[in-house]
Amino acid sequence: MFGGFWYTGFPIELTQALVNKGTRKLTVIAQSVGVGNDLDILAENGQIRKAIVNYAFFPSPDKVTEFERQVRAHEIRCETYPMGTFIEKMRAGGSGIAGFYTPTGVGTIVAQGKEHRSFNGREHILEEALKADFTFVHAYKGDRKGNLLYRKAARNYNPEMAMAGKITIAEVENLVETGELDPDCIHTPGIYVQRVVKVERPTITFSFE
Amino acid sequence: MDGEETAGLTNELMALRAANELEDGMYVNLGIGLPTMVSNWIEGRDIVLQAEIGFLEQGPFAEPDAVDQDLISAGAEPVTVLPGASFFSISESFAMIRGGYIDAAILGALQVSEKGDLASWNNPARKISDCGNIGGSMDLAVGAKKVIVIMEHTTRNGEPKILKECTYSLTAKGVVDLIITDLAVIEVADDGLVLKEIAPGLTPHQVQALTGAELRISEDLKEVEL
């Protein structure tokens, strides 16, 4: 699992480390693969077998990622979920909940093959929880206990993904001593985080089509 | 249309018409693309914009020298926040959306049916049907109290986008309340589509000819109110 929405809150350094390590047959769970983040490098290296995403391709058909090419060539299996369902699967996975019923996706391709159940007269579908062997997150501040604090919209997927990782590795822009973070202001308690790595604050340049 | 240019509203005016639909005090989510332009018309009004990436009180786009890379919109554009803003996770953002706290969502669409079915996420031209760019559209469509679609009345090839049944992959069934196009404002009523307002210079007959479902003409049909 990779936190981040586009490059905001995306673990750039940890992704590069995974590229360098060259681990293959990965299942990648992220907002997207290559649309506004570095995960297309994993596709270029042939490291991805399956992907679970919310936003698969560039809106423009003229801009094709290597990921998209491999999905079309059936080299990578791709599952897409509605954004709220996507992150709720991880919240459930990190919270000991096996699944949940949601009205989102009823009557669409997302509902195909899923259990349907009506609550208070409204149709819902069963979505199952999701966990990962490893989660990479990006935080603004972290301490040696693994307590994390995110900045503004860079929080996005990171807190629930941190919960859903068996091993969660956090790259932090500011590594502070234990006790420095105000306990009232911690977004991710350290119990969910197994490793903390200090990184430089990334420079994100925005280029729009 | 005999190769003749049809009159119609510009994107800016469609956005203005959509903005007029919003009431003070509302919490509103704007979809990416054309709906984003609605924000130009609500400045100074008591309307709170929710960004599904995780904040309330989204403000105008950030000036080039004031870009904060940790503060982007759902469309990945650098934005600002207004006084009273709050940040939260995407999980909480969609708790708000599904939980019924969003008063109105203004969304783009590829097709809308006469029953209010919405098709907005999968264009068959991409030739990939089982995955794609769902984004927050499915959650917003079922969660927002009011769903307003803002789109061109027809495709670039002049094919109707308002149909008896959507032919594209659905985003949600029976959710659209109001359709605002460059040619008309159409209400999705229980018994079908009602033509409420029409762009200046057009006749109901012309709008009907570009619509793939039957339009009932409202008794108080008027020019689009801007």
- List % helix, strand, coil for chain B (3-state, nearest 5): 20, 30, 50
pLDDT band, residue B129 (cuts 50/70/90): confident
Q: Which residues partner with A197 through β-bridges?
A: A171
Say what the pLDDT of residue B1 is.
Answer: 41
Say what the pLDDT of residue B4 is.
Answer: 47
Give the contacts of B4 (CB within 8 A, at least 6 positions apart): none
Give the residue from chain B lying closest to A103, CA to CA.
Answer: B142
Give the residue from chain B lying closest to A64, CA to CA.
Answer: B126
Q: Which of B5, B21, B43, B52 is catalytic?
A: B52
Asked whether residue B5 carries a pLDDT value surpassing 90, the answer given is no
Domain A12-198 grouped into CATH 3.40.50.2000: no
Convert the pLDDT of each residue in B157-211 to its tens digit. Answer: 999 999 999 999 999 999 999 999 999 999 999 999 999 999 999 999 999 999 9
Convert the pLDDT of each residue in A127-146 to its tens digit. Answer: 999 999 999 999 999 999 99
Residue A8 to residue B94, Cβ atoms within 8 A: no
pLDDT band, residue A207 (cuts 50/70/90): low
Give the closest-approach CA distance of B135 to chain A in angstroms. Answer: 5
Whole-number average pLDDT of chain B: 95
* Mean pLDDT, rounded, for B131-152: 97
Q: Return the percentage of chain A with pLDDT > 90, whole number.
A: 95
Residue B133 to residue A155, Cβ atoms within 8 A: no
What residue spans define the domains of chain A?
Answer: 12-198
Residue A83 to residue B68, Cβ atoms within 8 A: no
Give the contacts of B62 (CB within 8 A, at least 6 positions apart): B68, B71, B78, B79, B80
Q: A86, A90, A152, A174: best mutation site toward chain B, by most B Cβ within 10 Å?
A: A152
pLDDT, greater one: B49 or A60: B49
Residue B94 to residue A36, Cβ atoms within 8 A: no
A50 contacts in chain B (CB < 8 Å): none
Q: A7, A83, A160, A173: best mutation site toward chain B, by most B Cβ within 10 Å?
A: A83
Whole-number average pLDDT of chain A: 96
- Residue B187 known to be catalytic: no
Say what the pLDDT of residue B6 is.
Answer: 56
Residue B90 to residue A157, Cβ atoms within 8 A: yes
Query: What is the longest distance spanned by two Cα atoms in chain B?
Result: 53
For tokens 């003229």, the residue is A62
Say what the pLDDT of residue B7 is.
Answer: 73
Give the closest-approach CA distance of A72 to chain B in angstroms. Answer: 8
B129 contacts in chain A (CB < 8 Å): 109
Convert the pLDDT of each residue in A189-198 to its tens digit. Answer: 999 999 999 9
A positions 93-152 inside 8 Å of B (CB): 102-110, 140, 151-152
Reported ipTM? 0.96
Please write down the HEC assignment for all residues of A182-204: CHHHCCECHHHCCEEEECCCCCC
Asked whether residue B77 carries a pLDDT value surpassing 50, the answer given is yes
DSSP class of B37? G
Q: B58, B69, B126: best mutation site toward chain A, by most A Cβ within 10 Å?
A: B69
Convert the pLDDT of each residue in A97-117 to its tens digit. Answer: 999 999 999 999 999 999 999
pTM of the model: 0.96
CATH architecture of B11-220: 3-Layer(aba) Sandwich (3.40)
Convert the pLDDT of each residue in A25-71 to its tens digit. Answer: 999 999 999 999 999 999 999 999 999 999 999 988 899 999 999 99
As a whole number of angstroms, the distance between CA B73 and CA B79 comes to: 6
Give the closest-approach CA distance of B26 to chain A in angstroms. Answer: 21
As a whole number of angstroms, the distance between CA B64 and CA B78 comes to: 9
Say what the pLDDT of residue B125 is.
Answer: 87
As a whole number of angstroms, the distance between CA A5 and CA A155 comes to: 9
Give the Å distances, CA to CA, from A122 to A52, A116, A117, A138, B143. 27, 10, 8, 38, 12
What residue spans define the domains of chain B?
Answer: 11-220
Residue A88 to residue B94, Cβ atoms within 8 A: yes
A positions 60-99 inside 8 Å of B (CB): 61, 71-72, 78-85, 87-88, 90-91
Question: Among A133, A157, A146, A148, which residue's Cα sits nearest to residue A191?
Answer: A146
A121 contacts in chain B (CB < 8 Å): none
Residue B89 to residue A155, Cβ atoms within 8 A: yes
A159 contacts in chain B (CB < 8 Å): 89, 91
Contact A87, B90 (CB under 8 A): yes
Convert the pLDDT of each residue in A148-200 to its tens digit. Answer: 999 999 999 999 999 999 999 999 999 999 999 999 999 999 999 999 999 99
